[in-house]
Amino acid sequence: MRVETLVPRRGEAELEEIAAALAAGPSAPPFAEELVEFCHGISRALFGDRRAKRHPELVPLASFLRRASVAALAQEFAAEARPDVVQVPRGLAFHVPPSSVDTMFVYSLAVSLLAGNRNVVRVSPRRSVTTEVLVDALNAAAADHPAVAASIAVVSYGHELEPSALLSRHADVRVIWGGDATIETIRALPLAPHATELLFGDRFSLAVLRPGAEDPADLARRLFNDAYWFDQMGCSSPRLVVGVGDGAWPALEALFDALHGEVRHRGYGLELGAVLAKRTAVYGALADRPVRRMREGGNELTVLELATLDGFDRTHPGAGLFYAATVDSLDALAGFVVRKDQTMTISGFDGTEVASLVRAVNGRGIDRIVPFGEALTFGRFWDGYDLLAELTRRVNAP
């Protein structure tokens, strides 16, 4: 079947041929020099692309791909090696990234590539400007590194399941990012018996702060990046902000006042359709939930203060809606956390307190705890997986 190809060059090709070429294609050991240089090439292309300046979410990606940062990851990987085990790539990885957290497809691809895998990525035919910038950057790196380019294909197709079925049959590992519905659909397509699968379903994320630890304006700047870069629709974008201990409500109020200023300062705007969809969700929340007060900062910021977190419903429309609540202590959140909870961005807590909360939750939820401003910072540990470990095989060779 014929599909649109984006990387290593734009055009059209038979998907069977792409899959066969990748399956027989060259592969390199994890963190081979040429792989590191290829990632650095993407990074250079991104930093050099004038269009990228309008998309601040590309900066952390470009930094992640730099030689120095990849080298640090390689060192970590090497340090964990055992003398009796050789780590090798899994083979062909089939990635289905979210169509709208644009940068995710490159993170997913890059980590897998650095582990030495060959990769095929499916992206939606409806592509954002950011995705086009990313495709161009990948192609620039591909032109300089033809050997690595031969182990990558980014293809684009629409509604049909057949191309995904074909790629699934060839894959040694399948990586599905995104909504529970996508996972359900693609998971039904058979994989080879030896193949493994990494699944990243719908998640919910929250921010927790203790009053007084940090300056509200500074916190707001970082919260803006965490929440607004992907219209608050990233899995790690905070949607609930919890204040802990004495003075929690005034601290939340100060934070959201500062956030309103930040939203205006950055000139963030929503399309009217998104504003109306959010209003419907907000009014629905007012009808159903224990909201004690609503505060609005234009259409872009809506804060619903909850009288209690009991029975909290994690459905959320994105688009700058924050639930706010207070608890007496960090430990009080242990009972609140559920499996769906992914990232907790924190301010004002020490390592002991955080570790105590993680132990109290004991795996029922929360896969990342990071400072404000790092909610979207990608890393090898994601949704409870160690991606580098999952994307390699261990050969026992004593």
Partner 1 sequence: MAEYDEPQAGKERRLAAELTRLVHHHRAACAPYRRIVDVVAPGFAAAAAPADVPHLPVSLFKTHELRSVPRDAVFKTLMSSGTTGQAPSRIYLDRASAAAQTRALAATMQHWLGPRRLPMLIADTRSVLQDRTQFTARGAGILGMAPFGRDHLYLLDASEEERGAWLAKHAGEPVIVFGFTFMVWQHLPGGADLRGGILIHSGGWKALADQAVTPEEFRRVVAARTGIERVHNFYGMAEQTGTVYVECEAGALHAPATGDVVVRDPATWAPAPRGEQGVVEVVSTLPESYPGHALLTEDLGRVVAVDDCPCGRLGQAIALDGRVPKAELRGCSDTAAAVLTG
Binding site for partner 1 (CB under 8 A): 96-102, 104, 122, 124-126, 128, 158-159, 161, 164, 177-179, 181-182, 185-186, 200, 202-203, 230-235, 237, 270-277, 279-280, 283-284, 286-288, 291, 293-294, 298-299, 317-319
Residue type, position 136, single letter: D
CB of 120 to partner 1, least distance (A): 14
* Helices and strands in the chain, H and E counts: 14, 18
CB of 124 to partner 1, least distance (A): 6
Helical H runs in the chain?
15-24, 33-48, 58-64, 67-79, 104-114, 129-144, 146-149, 162-170, 180-187, 216-228, 248-265, 272-288, 351-361, 387-390
Please say which residue, 147 or 276, places its beta carbon nearer to partner 1.
276
Please say which residue, 180 or 215, places its beta carbon nearer to partner 1.
180
Please say which residue, 98 or 211, places its beta carbon nearer to partner 1.
98
Please say which residue, 25 or 385, places its beta carbon nearer to partner 1.
385
CB of 165 to partner 1, least distance (A): 11
CB of 375 to partner 1, least distance (A): 12
Please say which residue, 78 or 283, places its beta carbon nearer to partner 1.
283
CB of 121 to partner 1, least distance (A): 11
Please say which residue, 230 or 372, places its beta carbon nearer to partner 1.
230
How is residue 46 written in tokens?
């991104």
The terminus-to-terminus CA distance of the chain in angstroms comes to: 45
CB of 225 to partner 1, least distance (A): 14
CB of 123 to partner 1, least distance (A): 9
**Cβ burial, residue 283 (10 Å; 0-12/13-18/19+):** exposed
Please say which residue, 209 or 226, places its beta carbon nearer to partner 1.
226
Residue type, position 192, single letter: A
CB of 100 to partner 1, least distance (A): 4
CB of 260 to partner 1, least distance (A): 15
Find residue 197's DSSP bridge partners. Answer: 174
Please say which residue, 112 or 130, places its beta carbon nearer to partner 1.
130
Instruction: Give the whole-angstrom CA distance, residue 258 versus residue 280.
Output: 25
Cα–Cα separations (whole angstroms), residue 348 to 212, 237, 245, 260, 354: 8, 19, 11, 22, 10
Instruction: Give the whole-angstrom CA distance, residue 210 versus residue 329.
Output: 9
Instruction: Give the whole-angstrom CA distance, residue 252 versus residue 216.
Output: 9
Please say which residue, 142 or 227, places its beta carbon nearer to partner 1.
227
Cα–Cα separations (whole angstroms), residue 127 to 1, 19, 98: 21, 23, 11
138: closest CA among 43, 3, 27, 67?
Answer: 43
Q: How far is CA 300 from the centre of its chain?
A: 22
